[in-house]
């Protein structure tokens, strides 16, 4: 069933932000005395700045199916693909209607879990990756906007496979497997496939567009905490590949040679991570500058930057969420032109609940895993158009009007508190991508639907759905500077 599309108009001011949020030079500005509800302009400490926010609106619609752990991609034709559970949901009318593009295909996996989707931005190939039991992985792909699919049910490499399957593509480099001789790629980009075993992270590189994965192995032997759980694979324009392991100290494993060798990079020791924790995530801009984000020990969203393509990283972390957001989870990041980034995450502004009784009967410190039943979580986006500056400026927007979740969000599958229905309903992550115009698209799971959206004070027991939902930037700044301000994709759906 298709829900009616909703356009969320996020508090806007008529004055453009030229010379402010997008400035390339660091400018000292006074701290703001007040913050407008639902929108913040702030510095890299989370403190408000006395700058006018840019104008933006968002288009939001559910995809008509359950969608925990969603991933999203957009082809150059404008078709949007939302992948979660066994379904590949497709919209070719800018998110107004959705259909299951893989329905009835003989290549569909017989039984699946831990899905992952990816659209190759170079070739438009759409990947649907599904774990079949704990033994293997089914990888399907389509080169015609999901009309027809091919697949291989045995692409997992050595078994037993555990979970957290991920796939991405990136440029070929002059080093790596190709430099060894005898290996000639038949596909325009390198296709990377990673998963976790108890021994750590295992990553493989495909030379034939994802049909086979014969070269690779354990990415880095020391990254074994949490059994090799990890976030999404990302590749920079210069071919550098990143995999973020889920470990206590924010870390990246980095390859400069298409996955032949991996090196560990550590950062974030000043802010750490909470326990239990979820994935950190990574993106690189058009000049291969790196941006790594995670939830810090104080529950804010933090970022470390690399100005040399992942070789070195800042050891003083930037807080990129405002201080009013006292709890965060599932941060995801995307980058466009140099210094232009967008980060999405779930967060709570319920500062009045800090130190009240949490789900375990202890004082709540903002950890989503232990949030009390009346804690409210929304979807946020934080932009920076000058993220490479010494003192970058950030703008954060609360996108959702009704909560995405009430009560706790389980961050450890073996340690869930099923209060008011399972708080494992959102599972492990959301996703964010950009299209060829630099417009951001977000896939997330909505736990507060139906009656929960109209109740004056919904509680945890009213918010345990897992509806797949998509949001995209209708109007606002593109992450590609030359595009400028984006115009609506759907006629009549953008308003000030």
**147 has pLDDT over 70:** yes
**23 has pLDDT over 70:** no
- Residue range 301-315: mean pLDDT, rounded: 98
**155 has pLDDT over 60:** no
- Residue range 145-168: mean pLDDT, rounded: 74
Compute the distance between CA of residue 142 and CA of residue 150 in angstroms, rounded to an integer: 6
Per-residue confidence (pLDDT) for residue 200, from 0 to 100: 82
The residue among 112 and 19 whose pLDDT is bigger is 112
- Residue range 109-115: mean pLDDT, rounded: 66
The residue among 413 and 69 whose pLDDT is bigger is 69
Span 384-438, pLDDT tens digits: 999 999 999 999 999 999 999 999 999 987 788 877 788 999 999 999 999 999 9
- Residue range 329-353: mean pLDDT, rounded: 98
Compute the distance between CA of residue 86 and CA of residue 100 in angstroms, rounded to an integer: 10
**496 has pLDDT over 80:** no
Contacts of 456 (CB under 8 A, 6+ apart): none
Per-residue confidence (pLDDT) for residue 104, from 0 to 100: 55
**Residue 19 exposed, middle or buried by CB count within 10 Å (0-12, 13-18, 19+):** exposed
**10 has pLDDT over 50:** no
The residue among 79 and 85 whose pLDDT is bigger is 79
Span 211-247, pLDDT tens digits: 988 888 888 665 655 667 899 999 999 999 999 999 9
Per-residue confidence (pLDDT) for residue 132, from 0 to 100: 74
Per-residue confidence (pLDDT) for residue 21, from 0 to 100: 47
**195 has pLDDT over 50:** yes
Element (H, E) at 180: helix 177-180
Q: How confident is the model at residue 112 (pLDDT cuts 50, 70, 90)?
A: low
- Residue range 325-350: mean pLDDT, rounded: 98
Per-residue confidence (pLDDT) for residue 11, from 0 to 100: 39
Q: DSSP string of 118-179?
A: EE-TTT--EEEEEEETTTEEEEEEESSTTSS-EEES--S-SS---EEEEEEEE---SSTHHH
CB 132 within 8 A of CB 153: yes
Domain range annotation of the chain: 1-67+267-429
The residue among 210 and 199 whose pLDDT is bigger is 210
């Amino acid at each position: 069933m298709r829900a009616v599309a909703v356009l969320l108009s996020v508090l806007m001011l008529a004055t453009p932000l030229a010379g402010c949020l997008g400035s390339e030079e660091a400018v000292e500005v006074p701290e703001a005395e007040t913050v407008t509800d639902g929108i913040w302009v702030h510095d890299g400490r989370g403190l408000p700045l006395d700058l006018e926010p840019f104008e933006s609106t968002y288009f939001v619609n559910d995809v008509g199916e359950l969608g925990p752990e969603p991933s999203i991609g957009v082809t150059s034709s404008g078709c949007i693909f939302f992948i979660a559970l066994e379904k590949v949901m497709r919209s070719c009318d800018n998110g107004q209607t959705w259909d299951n593009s893989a329905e009835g295909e003989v290549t569909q996996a017989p039984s699946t879990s831990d899905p992952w989707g990816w659209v190759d931005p170079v070739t438009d190939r759409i990947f649907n990756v599904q774990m079949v039991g704990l033994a293997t992985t089914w990888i399907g792909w389509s080169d015609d906007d999901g009309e027809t699919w091919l697949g291989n049910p045995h692409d997992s490499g050595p078994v037993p496979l555990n979970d957290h399957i991920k796939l991405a593509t990136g440029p070929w480099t002059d080093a790596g497997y190709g430099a060894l001789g005898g290996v000639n790629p038949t596909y325009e980009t390198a296709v990377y496939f990673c998963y976790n075993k108890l021994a750590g992270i295992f990553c493989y590189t495909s030379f034939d567009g994802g049909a086979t994965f014969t070269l690779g192995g354990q990415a880095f032997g020391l990254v074994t905490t949490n059994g090799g759980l990890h976030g999404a694979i990302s590749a920079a324009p210069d071919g550098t590949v990143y995999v973020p392991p889920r470990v206590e100290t924010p870390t990246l494993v980095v390859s400069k040679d298409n996955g032949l060798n991996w090196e560990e990079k550590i950062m974030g020791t000043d802010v750490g991570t909470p326990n239990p924790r979820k994935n950190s995530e990574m993106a690189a801009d058009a000049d291969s500058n790196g941006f790594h984000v995670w939830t810090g020990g104080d529950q804010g969203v933090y970022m470390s930057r690399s100005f040399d393509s992942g070789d070195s990283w800042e050891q003083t972390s930037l807080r990129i969420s405002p201080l009013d957001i006292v709890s965060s989870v599932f941060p995801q990041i995307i980058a466009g032109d140099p210094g232009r980034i967008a980060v999405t995450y779930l967060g709570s502004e319920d500062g009045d609940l800090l130190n009240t009784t949490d789900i375990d009967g202890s004082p709540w410190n903002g950890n989503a895993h232990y949030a009390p039943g009346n804690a409210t979580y929304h979807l946020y986006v934080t932009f920076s158009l000058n993220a490479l500056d010494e003192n970058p400026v950030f703008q954060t927007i609360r996108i959702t009007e009704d909560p995405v979740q009430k009560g706790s969000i389980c961050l450890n599958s073996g340690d869930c508190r099923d209060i008011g229905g399972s708080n494992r309903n959102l599972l492990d992550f959301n996703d964010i991508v950009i299209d060829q115009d630099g417009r951001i698209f977000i896939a997330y799971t909505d736990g507060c639907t139906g009656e929960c959206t109209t109740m004056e004070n919904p509680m945890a027991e009213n918010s345990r759905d897992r509806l797949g939902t998509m949001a995209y930037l209708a109007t606002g700044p593109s992450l590609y500077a030359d595009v400028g301000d984006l115009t609506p994709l759907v006629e009549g759906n953008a308003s000030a």
